[in-house]
Amino acid sequence: MFHHDDPQPQLVDERTSLVSSQSLVSDQGTIKTPQQESREVSSHGDISVARSVLPTLLFGIFIAQADSSIVLATSQEIASEFRVLSDASWLITSYVLAQCVCQPLYGRTSDIFGRKPAMIFSYAAFTLGCIICGIGTSYWHVLLGRVVSGIGGAGMVGLVAVIIADLLPPRQVATWRSYVNVVATLGRSCGGPLGGWLVDTVGWRWCFIGQSPVATLAVLLIIWKLPVNIAGRRADPACSRIADKLRRVDFAGFAFLPAALVTAFIGLDLAGKLYPLQYTVPLGASAVFLLTSFYYVEKYYAQEPIIPMGLLAKRDVYVPYLLVALQTASQFIITYTIPIYFPIVAGMSVTAAGSRIVFIVVGNAVGGLLTGFYINHTGRYKSAIYVATILGIISYCLVLVRWHGSSSLLDSSYLTLGGLGMGSTQSTTFVHIAAALEPKDIAVAGTTWFLCQSAGMLAAANVFNMVHNLALKRMLESVLEGVKDKPKIIHGVLSSVEYIKTLPTDLREIVTNVLVQSLVPTNAIALGCGIAALMLALFIREHKLEKN
């Protein structure tokens, strides 16, 4: 068995990128390769294929993003029917966790079995999950359906970026990915109102059952429109049999990585909810053991590792991974602040407060579009990374300074800057990876990039819960010293924002002020993550983007 870092002769098979024409970049600079010259010959044909395929892929993106906001809007109703209202968040968590765990697996799987079979599997899994949710007779059945849908959703979202990178030169990748951002924004915007309308008219089950024929149509479009081979490339006959492909699968890695991620995220979730150490420490130790085992398998045993350790050691890979994870974490920490801050300060309903998130969503879409056009026009992206991180820092500074009782639309508009920065960061970091790596590494690196985003989001949720709950608890214990029913009040405030409205006026004012102040540490962490992202941006090496 050869070591996976050793140079190997390049074969044209399912692992070969749909368009193998990325620039190969050494540490000293950019060199032109035969693959790059091949791009110049075939780029027009590849772009025409991309234009044919992209609408179908965008249809899937719309479905996946609409599903997320549909469930967000209906989770309370679903959980209430099964009398488990306190566990409503698991409808979202189970999907996100399954999606996060499976994202890196799709990269290597699509290299072995091909992009088209992997896409078909992801759509089929998503459809099956919707059906399970729609016909489920218990809450556990619905959660199982959400997990299955999450497995499919990971491929529906992640593989689109990989296919775009396969078909197009890096200079055009950002522009086309910005279209994906716009469609995702539309999906998230439409899903919530649609879910609420369906619940009010025909019931929540049709939110899932109704998605099944739409997702099935998307599968049929993928089968019809997405070519197995692009630009005349053919699979290697030696690897055409299913048995041969299965022998290439890193089954040990497929077992260790999901187990490690699930264990780690559950441990973080419990830590964020201030569970005792006897629960969190064993989970943390198990996660470390599983991650160590995964590293050992990938480094020394796997012939085709899910995540090559040599790839992660490259500066052109780990720097953008850390950068996008930090930017995502800072963005989501602020996002989690919104439904707490505005209902308390302005007396808004949770729904009205949630509408303030539109500033982030719009900023994200516009930031991606502007950055895509800039990169396509200039062939440069490092300056856009600086602008993106600085915009985020400005946004989080304004939130930290101003959100102490002010709730005007102007105060909400600060969120737009953070959204612009996040949208730009997503475009620039992915383009950097596409420009820096060889085509054979794009699928693995691209899907792992999505894992870093999801990890940043989940880590942000748990860090926010832990820091906020600790700060709030300590502040309440201090200001409520000597107050009757102190433990009951603290428990009520930690459990629900709505509880504060039931308190006497004088006590309500004290608790409200404490709650606002308890958000300062989390906002400071968001700012710290943004500053760390800017520091990492200094280590990004810009690669030349050829204009084809």
- The phi, psi pair for 235, rounded to 5°, reads -70, 150
Q: Could you report how far apart the first and last alpha carbons of the chain are, in Å?
A: 39
Residue 190: predicted pLDDT: 80
Chain segment 229-238, per-residue pLDDT in tens: 644 344 444 4
**Residue 335 near residue 36 (C-beta atoms within 8 A):** no
- The phi, psi pair for 440, rounded to 5°, reads -65, -15
Residue 39: predicted pLDDT: 43
State the helix-helix crossing angle for 251-272 and 90-113, rounded to 10 degrees.
160
Asked if the domains 14-25+43-231 and 310-548 are classified in one and the same CATH topology, the answer is yes
274 three-state secondary structure:
coil
pLDDT of 208 higher than 60: yes
Q: Which CATH class is domain 14-25+43-231?
A: mainly alpha
**Residue 306 near residue 108 (C-beta atoms within 8 A):** yes
For the chain, give every domain's residue range. Answer: 14-25+43-231, 250-303, 310-548
Residue 464: predicted pLDDT: 86
Strongest mean pLDDT among 120-124, 246-250, 464-468, 510-514: 120-124
Least confidently predicted of 26-30, 249-253, 285-289: 26-30
Least confidently predicted of 55-59, 188-192, 362-366, 374-378: 188-192
* pLDDT, averaged across the chain: 83
**Mean per-residue pLDDT for 122-146?**
93
Residue 548: predicted pLDDT: 60
pLDDT of 400 higher than 80: yes
Residue 276 backbone zone (phi > 0: left; psi -120 to 50: alpha; other: beta)? beta
Which residues, in sequence order, are bridge partners of residue 25? 30
Higher pLDDT, 156 or 483: 156
pLDDT of 273 higher than 80: no
Tokens of 239: 């690897």
**Mean per-residue pLDDT for 88-113?**
87
- CB burial of 248-259 (b: ≥16 within 10 Å; e: otherwise) equals bbbebbbebbbb
pTM for the full model? 0.82
310-548 CATH: 1.20.1250.20
Chain segment 15-42, per-residue pLDDT in tens: 444 444 344 444 434 444 333 444 443 4
Task: Return the C-alpha torsion angle 141, 142, 147, 150, nearest 10.
Answer: 150
Q: What share of the chain is helix, strand, coil (3-state, %, to 5)?
A: 80, 0, 20
Least confidently predicted of 109-113, 132-136, 274-278, 408-412: 274-278
pLDDT of 448 higher than 90: yes
User: What's the CA gap between 14 and 107, in Å, rounded?
Assistant: 12
pLDDT of 110 higher than 60: yes
Q: What is the DSSP letter of 540?
A: P
C-beta contacts of 130-135 below 8 A and 24+ residues apart: 130/67, 130/208, 130/209, 130/211, 130/212, 130/215, 131/208, 131/209, 131/212, 133/205, 133/208, 134/205, 134/206, 134/207, 134/208, 134/209, 134/212, 135/205, 135/209
Least confidently predicted of 119-128, 170-179, 435-444, 529-538: 170-179
User: What's the CA gap between 421 and 363, in Å, rounded?
Assistant: 8
Confidence of residue 354 (pLDDT cuts 50, 70, 90): confident
**Residue 108 near residue 118 (C-beta atoms within 8 A):** no
Chain segment 490-540, per-residue pLDDT in tens: 888 887 777 888 888 888 888 889 989 999 999 999 999 999 999 999 999
Tokens of 515: 């709650």
User: What's the CA gap between 326 and 391, in Å, rounded?
Assistant: 14
C-alpha 15, offset from chain centre = 24
